[in-house]
Amino acid sequence: MRLYRRPLAAVLGGLALALTAAGSALAVDGTFAWTGPAGKAYSIQNPPDDKCFDMAQEARGARNATKKTLVVYTEKRCKGKATRIAPGKSAAGSAPFASVIFNPR
């Protein structure tokens, strides 16, 4: 796993532990990127699939450079309005989201 722009704890709560526990067999190949506070870019590589993650801070402009579909939600715990983002596609740069699930089943 490779994470850009620290601090890790502020980016996604518990994501590092989940990626370590999930192993590469359950990972979605590629990179997920978004814009956080003050317009800073964040990304993670090879996120685990079929797990919902809450964003720990402001997040918008989801970009899916993985090989599988992901879904961003307007509320935490993968609730609220859902927006599916196909591989290689992006949400509007100003579109906020509060949680994300990779390769939902």
Predicted confidence (pLDDT) per residue in 28-48, tens digit: 899 999 999 999 999 999 999
Half-sphere exposure of 90 (CA within 13 A, CB side): 12
Question: 80-101: per-residue pLDDT in tens?
Answer: 999 999 999 999 989 999 999 9
DSSP structure string for 53-94: EEBSS--EEEEEEESS-EEEEEETTTEEEEEEE-TT-B--TT
Question: In DSSP terms, which residues pair with 45 in a beta bridge?
Answer: 31
Q: Does domain 3-102 have CATH number 2.60.20?
A: yes
Alpha-carbon span 99 to 76, nearest angstrom:
5
pLDDT tier for residue 8 given thresholds of 50, 70 and 90: very low
pLDDT of 28 reads: 81
Inter-CA distances, 34 with 59, 90, 97, 102, 105, Å? 6, 9, 10, 14, 23
Average pLDDT over residues 56-67: 96
Domain map (residue ranges) of the chain: 3-102
Q: Who wins on pLDDT, 79 or 6?
A: 79
